[in-house]
Amino acid sequence: MNNFKLIPGEHATELLNAQAHIWNHIFNFINSMSLKCAIQLEKMFENDQEERYALTDASRLLLKDNPLSVTPFLVAMLDPVLTKPWHFLTAWFQNEDLTPFDTAHGKKFWDYGEHEAKLNHFFSNAMASDARFVVSVLIDKCSAVFDGLESLVDVGGGTGTVAKAIADAFPSMECTVLDLPHVVAGLEGSKKLKYIGGDMFEAVPPADAILLKWILHDWNDEECIKILGRCKEAITSTDKKGKVIIIDMIVQNQKEDDEDRESIETQLFFDMLMMVLVTGKERNEKEWAKLFFDAGFSDYKITHKLGLRSLIEVYP
């Protein structure tokens, strides 16, 4: 193997560029890890009291004390428990395990969370920080979605960040959070806000509206149809016909121009994340529509863009 030309002369420049390009891909994870380090050292992203410089919007979202901070999400996603499964993608493609998370840890994500307080805590904080962000935009920009509703159940509503904010903003609405018993254990409700420990695959309490924020992307089509079926029962159990309100991504179609490249790439990162941690995926509009009709709904309306996610109202 020592007598052939490794690099044909005329292609040397192209090959060196290709090598540099691959190096960039190899070390992409250094971006994530350096960001995590900077956050943990709490050295950067300080507000400058003397206003010599201004923070960008992105830096502001990394401030520890900003209620809308994305830092809890970063801390959870880059914890070794959630990065380890990526080393098991190849093994998972060749075995029968449900997810790479199972292959790495020997159990499902939610069984792990139930028994490991640390993951449960990181994950709850990550979800709550996003929930604060989204619900403030929702109440500010999309309040018409809640017009005329007397009751709402936030299915998989976690520790109740969204339901609490909705109950405060619309005092005539009765809000309920349904989540797994270990998630809502010990949480105190109020007159306008109830917590129910249960299983959304079994039953969803009746209401005018069911909210599913960041739920359906965690599950495969068959599982989603079951959840949506329970939601449909919940909004049609009286003679009043309610609606399901979904907040999740609608994967954009690839376009010719570069404008939406980063957005689509981020949506596809989430698609991979859902495959690695749980049994879910991100869906395009056609795939969403099929889910709704397969679950027995008759119509849907995509009303608002919430960054990379959308608000979808689904009608029985």
Ligand X SMILES: C[S@@+](CC[C@H](N)C(=O)[O-])C[C@H]1O[C@@H](n2cnc3c(N)ncnc32)[C@H](O)[C@@H]1O
Ligand Y SMILES: O=c1cc(-c2ccc(O)c(O)c2)oc2c(O)c(O)ccc12
Nearer to ligand X, 223 or 285 (CB): 223
- Asked whether 151 and 205 are in contact (CB, 8 A), the reply is no
Specify the residue, 200 or 276, whose C-beta has the smaller distance to ligand X: 200
Q: How far is residue 79's CA from residue 123's CA, in Å, rounded to a whole number?
A: 10
Query: Per CB under 6 A, does 109 bind ligand Y?
Result: yes
Q: Establish if 277 lies at the interface with ligand Y (CB under 6 A).
A: yes
Residue 200 binds what, of ligand X, ligand Y, none (CB under 5 to 8 Å, by partner type)?
A: ligand X
Q: Which is nearer to ligand Y, 139 or 272 (CB)?
A: 272
CA torsion sign for 118, 121, 124, 129 is negative
Check if the beta carbon of residue 209 is closer than 8 Å to that of residue 236: no
Contact track, ligand Y, 201-220, x by CB under 6 A: -------------x---x--
Q: Which of 88, 214, 297, 300 binds ligand X (CB under 6 A)?
A: 214
C-beta nearest to ligand X: residue? 156
DSSP 53: S
| Cα-Cα-Cα-Cα dihedral sign, residues 198, 201, 202, 207 | positive
201 makes contact, choosing from ligand X, ligand Y, none, with CB < 5 to 8 Å by partner type, with: ligand X
Nearer to ligand Y (CB atom), residue 100 or residue 242: 100
SS3 content of the chain, % helix, strand, coil (to 5): 50, 15, 35
Answer for the pair 6, 15: CB distance below 8 angstroms, yes or no.
Answer: no
Q: Does 110 bind ligand Y (CB under 6 A)?
A: yes
**Structure tokens that stand for 148 in this block:** 């005329």
**How far is the C-alpha of 70 from the C-alpha of 125, rounded, in Å?**
10
Q: Using the 8-state DSSP alphabet, how is residue 172 labeled?
A: T
The interface with ligand X within residues 81-120 (CB under 6 A) comprises 110
- By a kind-dependent CB cut-off of 5 to 8 A, residue 158 interacts, out of ligand X, ligand Y, none, with ligand X
d(CA 156, CA 200): 8
Task: Point out which residues pair with 209 in neighbouring strands.
Answer: 152, 243
Strands (DSSP E) contained in the chain are 151-155, 174-179, 193-197, 209-213, 243-249, 299-306, 309-315
- Give the shortest CB-238-to-ligand Y separation in angstroms: 28
Span of 36-44, 54-62, 143-151, 272-280 interacting with ligand Y by CB under 6 A: 272-280
Q: Which does 277 bind (CB under 5 to 8 A by kind): ligand Y, ligand X, none?
A: ligand Y
Query: Among 11, 121, 217, 304, which one carries the catalytic annotation?
Result: 217
- In the complex with ligand Y, the residue whose CB is nearer, 109 or 288, is 109
Characterize the bridge pairing of strands 193-197 and 174-179.
Answer: parallel
Q: Figure out which of the listed residues 39, 76, 138, 215 binds ligand X, where binding follows CB under 6 A.
A: 215
Q: Name residues contacting ligand X, limited to 122-141 (CB under 6 A).
A: 127, 130-131
Q: Does the annotation count 304 as an active-site position?
A: no
CB of 72 to ligand Y, least distance (A): 12
Smaller CB distance to ligand Y: residue 168 or 271?
271
Relative orientation angle of helices 285-294 and 221-235, to the nearest 10 degrees: 60
The residue ranges that bind ligand X (CB under 6 A) are: 110, 127, 130-131, 156-158, 178-180, 183, 199-201, 213-215, 218
The residue ranges that bind ligand Y (CB under 6 A) are: 82, 109-110, 113, 214, 218, 273, 277-278
Residues belonging to the active site:
217
